[in-house]
Structure 1
Amino acid sequence: MEKSLNSHETPRQSVSPTMLLTMVGGMALFWACFFAMLMRNSFLDPGIDRLWYHLALRIAFFIGFGACCLTISRAPEGLPSPRARRAMTGFVAAFCLIAAVSSTAYAVLGTPLPLAFDLAAWGLSGAGLGCLLFSWMPAVSRLDERSVARCMALSTACGGFLYLVINLLPSYFSIVMLVVCPLVSLAVERVVGHEAGPDEGLRIPLAVSQEKAGLSWAFGVIYIVYGIVFGLGAGSITQLAGDPLLFAGIAGFALAGALAALAFMHRFAGRMRQIDVLRMVFPFLVVSLVSMALFTGPVYALSNLLLLAVYVFLVVVSMAFEVHTAHNRHAAPLYFVGMSQGVLGCGMAAGFALGLLPAAAGATNYAVLSGVALGLVVVLAAFITFAPSRRPADDDDAAEAPEQEHEQGRWKARCTVVAREAKLSARETEVFFLMAKGRGIEHIQNKLCISSHTVKSHTYNIYKKMGINSREELLDAIEAANPDDA
């Protein structure tokens, strides 16, 4: 059974620095556009003098983005069909067209277009950027764990810098950048996808991914509440003056969140669960929300930017964790990432909606809403601490075992027989059991906290004692063993 599972596992690649930098650059163009739509910008917002209008547009954007993520996550075979990919390309092109029309109208007329048009345009823009993100996910999903972490974190950091550049340019140049960036990103993705080869290994039926995911109701509650808190924070940034200092602050804190995520993933690769990440960000959420409720001026602005850094950290770490978890569970990465980002996007829309209520009545003070958000964080803490949530990364070993308990026991018994007959040492036996699950050198060294050289040395000794020369022969030896001899 284990051999059958691993025979369909997607090979994860260590890429050259050139290819990794190409992917980072391509995805950075997506993040630059995403930050421009999420935060204040110099080319769309100046023509809007009503706070509630800003918030309504962001609500439409995240409804479109969340709906796109959830729809793509439901792909029957784990990847969009050729027809769906053409539709995704069309949505990206629609984003570029809408950005050109809306931005030019703002620049020429100095006022926004009719509300109904703007809401539809921002909703389609959210769907377009969602399609661009998931156009990249198959290529990212082929990378090994550390390369995924580097790609996600560095592309987000570079995207924050590009966001700053776009907002410091004259308006017409900013509009051109907003229109061109998604098209260039999509073109780079096509080149990278062609170089990486076919992605048939990522085609896993939706029913299989749903069965192996084990997502509970608590998963949805946690991510929706997080989204509400982050939506409130992003909405409060919208009311700040859109000047170069704010743009630099947004870019700087996005960079800080991305680099913190990269350092975290390198430090705890393979040794921390998603639930631990959610618990870890609590202190930062509490500090930022309390400061938003009690202070004004620069402290208030810095509190909002700290919340942005936490959002970037959580998104980057979550997406990298979910790609890794999907491989561990032999499920579709797009299902895991699409579900989490879709639910988080819906929560963001709800957070902006909470800010819209007082803004529509003429209020601009977010202190009360910060208190509401703090209460949500407390509720969220209770969910994470006590609710029986089962996130995808919570239980690697259980998910990696054969589906039925009886078969799992017989497979382990076979492994025990082989290890005993080969007279493997205790550490060699640990390495042997991980190899039997299809684990590679990087996973084994992280799991057992040993160096790659030590893993290779144990592997050599195991092969020598068993009289074999390959992983395939190792699996054959396990299948040939009699579990009743254990």
Structure 2
Amino acid sequence: MEQHASNVNSKRGANALRVALANASATDLVATLGFSCYIVWELLGVFDTLPFIAPAFPAEQLPLLRVCLFLFLSIGFFAAMKTAVRVRRQARLFLVLGGASTALVLVLALTSTAIEDPPLWLGIVAWSVFGVSLTGLMAAWAVYFSRRFGTTTPLVITTGYAAGFGLFLLLSALAPVGGTPFFLLAGIIVAVSTIGFLAFLLLAQPQEGQETVDASDLDQHPRTMRLAPPRMPFARTLHATAYGVSYGFTITFLLSTGTASAVIGAIGGLAGCVTALVALSRNRLATGSDIRRITFIPVAVALLFLPIGAPSSYILCSLPIIAATIFTAVTSWVAVALDVDRKGYDPVTAFASNKWPGWFGFFLGTFASTIVIEAAPSLFTIVVAGLVAFICVSFAVFELRIYEDRHDEARSERRSNGENADGADGGGTHEKRFQARCDGIARAYGLSPRESEVFRLLAKGRNAEYISQELCIARPTTKTHIQHIYQKLTINSHQELIDLIDSRE
């Protein structure tokens, strides 16, 4: 039975990927290009070894500047998580915030490279504003993906990540021959591109079958009720923080290997993107519990071998950690967009609450590794052991929470089905009777297996858009199935279908 379910999921996943590719449009291509440019912009801050802003400051100042970046990034997400649900015209606000802070970063970068010996305060301001820039642009992209969610959205996010890491790998390979002016130009190009593409997407007219949404009125989108999502469970928060700490801790040591660290980071990120594409092809991209189990072993084991010796251990251990982190990052983007689309959550609040623990963990990991490198190298092994223990504890807490959730869901399902405490059936269930009526009508009127699936969802009151997403089929195909069902049942409306079901009682 489990093997059959796995085969069904695999077929549905492959079908979902085919549908996404078949439905991809010029707008999706623009979104992919724009999002990939944002990924490059983000990586210019995470991997500061490229001659963007970093070469203008002494090497001993860079750890402090990176700490400032991730401190302001985590503060920005925390502030967005607490206030975004009360903010009107979110798309415009965060797009302007991201664009203005990005422009200021570029001005500060040009200023710092023009000064022979730039002061430390200029670097602190530049990297802090970089954190605000990432916060604003990420929130704006979250609004776009959440409010325009469709069958192609997971593909756009995944390929956008892959293209971004591919472009960053190309830039990293050019580091030996490209000077500071070249990388400043590259930074300007990707920054202007992601802002320009995003502005176009938020203001562009939707495709046929989508609702018309203007960027100035996205907060009043009828499919989004501006609800604050429930508080992120403690287990997930702890787990995300632990992964963020391990990522920030490892990246800092990888950067000590020099400009080659950017190439290594890009390769690790591409490995995570490939894994995400495989998960997308199997329809498993947004299953958080499975993803955390998959990524636990490479992260924990890689950290254990980190103290063996530089630079080989830094390189070998960082690859699986970066791949696992990027894999989880892709899935979190997709999962949040899906939750917002189906549950009506506020997109920025949902995205910020999901991302904030990870970025705060990144700040803690960067801060801890900076202390180890600068002040207490002898504590390296002890700190790594503590970090591995922290990850193991967070994973255990997460697994315990998943077990409790499933137990509660099982009990709730038994109660809703009319079963008593020992699991005995308490006289049959409404769901079983409803299913039997649907199956009887499907057989009586000669509905095909696919038409029967669509019919059952119609009987529950679902619309064509929901059915397309649930069954991973194109919307025109769904409408064709509905038309055939109406013809076979000799009805003309959804209400007549519901009446037919009720009369079967």
For normalisation by structure 1, the TM-score amounts to 0.78
Letter aligned with residue 154 of structure 2: A
Q: Helix, strand or coil for the counterpart of 1:281?
A: helix
Equivalence map 1:323-334=2 (5 Å): 323-334=337-348
Deviations 1:409-452, CA, capped at 9 Å, x for gaps: 98997787566566477956554333434432342259xxxx99
1:279 is the counterpart of 2:293 = yes
For the 8 Å contact 2:245–2:362, the answer to whether it is kept is yes
- Of 451-460 and 431-440, more deviation after overlay is shown by 451-460
2:131 corresponding residue in structure 1? 126
For the 8 Å contact 2:302–2:318, the answer to whether it is kept is yes
2:468 corresponding residue in structure 1? 441
Give the Cα–Cα distance (whole angstroms) in 2 for the partners of residues 365 and 246 of structure 1: 23
1:256 corresponding residue in structure 2? 271
For the 8 Å contact 2:77–2:352, the answer to whether it is kept is yes
Give the Cα–Cα distance (whole angstroms) in 2 for the partners of residues 77 and 475 of structure 1: 36
Equivalence map 1:67-466=2 (5 Å): 67-74=75-82, 81-82=88-89, 85-86=92-93, 88-102=95-109, 104-106=111-113, 108-109=115-116, 111-115=117-121, 117-143=122-148, 146-167=151-172, 168=175, 169-195=178-204, 196=206, 197-198=212-213, 199=218, 200-201=220-221, 204-206=224-226, 208-210=227-229, 213=230, 215-242=232-259, 245-269=260-284, 273-361=287-375, 363=377, 366-388=380-402, 420=440, 423=444, 430-435=453-458, 436=460, 437-438=462-463, 439-445=466-472, 459=482, 462-466=485-489
Deviation at 1:37, TM superposition (A): 0.4
1:33 corresponding residue in structure 2? 41
For the 8 Å contact 1:28–1:159, the answer to whether it is kept is yes
Give the Cα–Cα distance (whole angstroms) in 2 for the partners of residues 237 and 112 of structure 1: 26
Q: Helix, strand or coil for the counterpart of 2:221?
A: helix
1:467 corresponding residue in structure 2? 490
For the 8 Å contact 1:39–1:237, the answer to whether it is kept is no
Give the Cα–Cα distance (whole angstroms) in 2 for the partners of residues 419 and 131 of structure 1: 50
Letter aligned with residue 342 of structure 1: W
Percent of counterpart pairs with the same letter? 16
Aligned with 2:29 (options 21, 27, 49): 21
Deviation at 1:346, TM superposition (A): 1.2
For normalisation by structure 2, the TM-score amounts to 0.75
Deviation at 1:378, TM superposition (A): 0.9
2:12 corresponding residue in structure 1? none
For the 8 Å contact 1:232–1:369, the answer to whether it is kept is no
Deviations 1:109-137, CA, capped at 9 Å, x for gaps: 2x55324x433432221111221122222
For the 8 Å contact 1:294–1:367, the answer to whether it is kept is no
- Corresponding residue pairs, total: 445
Gaps of 5+ in 2: 1-19, 207-211, 417-428
Give the Cα–Cα distance (whole angstroms) in 1 for the partners of residues 231 and 357 of structure 2: 16
Q: Helix, strand or coil for the counterpart of 1:337?
A: helix
Give the Cα–Cα distance (whole angstroms) in 2 for the partners of residues 120 and 152 of structure 1: 31
Deviation at 1:340, TM superposition (A): 1.0
Give the Cα–Cα distance (whole angstroms) in 1 for the partners of residues 143 and 97 of structure 2: 18
